[in-house]
């Protein structure tokens, strides 16, 4: 499972990206266009960054990913997840905690993601 990158919201898996599955040419081109847009600068919190490095870009993308998940924008969330997984090949988990206006994001490069298992609890009579 070493090639899986997962995005968790408040400890619950939202997205899983399998790096063993190749991106389509169209999808790869979309990610390149995202990079081109970020080349023009980004705003991270209150700070404008004219020439963002990979770290700033990853934080920017993760912040937008958190918003996309919270607003149920599945196609944008998938694209942003793909960007993180392909641009940060060692990234194993993106952990988003909190609420919309107040959340934290942590990148985990050393903690392998383990699929979550849903457990049905049936009350005993």
52-107 pLDDT, tens digit each: 999 999 999 999 999 999 899 999 999 999 999 999 999 999 999 987 667 899 99
Specify the length of the chain in residues: 125
| For residue 117, pLDDT beyond 80 | no
| Domain locations along the chain | 4-108
79 alpha carbon, distance to own chain's centre: 9
Residue 31 has a CB neighbour count (10 Å cut-off) of 17
At residue 1, does pLDDT exceed 50? no
Quote the mean pLDDT of the chain. Answer: 89
> For a pLDDT cut of 70, what percent of the chain falls above it?
88
Q: What is the mean pLDDT of residues 21-31?
A: 93
- pLDDT higher than threshold 90 for residue 115: no
Please, are residues 18 and 4 in contact by the beta-carbon 8 Å criterion? yes
Higher pLDDT, 33 or 1: 33
CA 10 to chain centre: 13
84: closest CA among 16, 29, 13, 12? 16
Query: Does residue 11 carry a pLDDT above 80?
Result: yes
Q: What is the b/e burial string over 75-85, where b = at least 16 CB atoms within 10 angstroms of the residue's CB?
A: eebebbbbbbb
Which residues, listed in sequence order, are joined to residue 48 by a DSSP beta bridge? 43
């Amino acid at each position: 499972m070493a090639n899986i990158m997962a995005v968790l919201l408040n400890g619950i898996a939202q997205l899983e990206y399998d790096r063993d599955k190749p991106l389509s040419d169209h999808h790869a081109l979309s990610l390149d266009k995202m990079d081109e847009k970020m080349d023009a600068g980004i705003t991270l919190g209150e700070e404008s960054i004219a020439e963002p490095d990979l770290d700033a870009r990853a934080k920017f993308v993760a912040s937008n990913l958190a918003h996309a998940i919270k607003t149920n924008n599945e196609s944008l969330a998938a694209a942003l997840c793909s960007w993180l997984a392909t641009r940060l090949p060692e990234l194993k988990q993106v952990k988003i905690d909190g609420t919309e206006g107040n959340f934290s994001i942590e990148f985990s490069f050393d903690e392998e993601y383990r699929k979550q298992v849903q457990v049905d609890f049936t009350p005993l009579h």
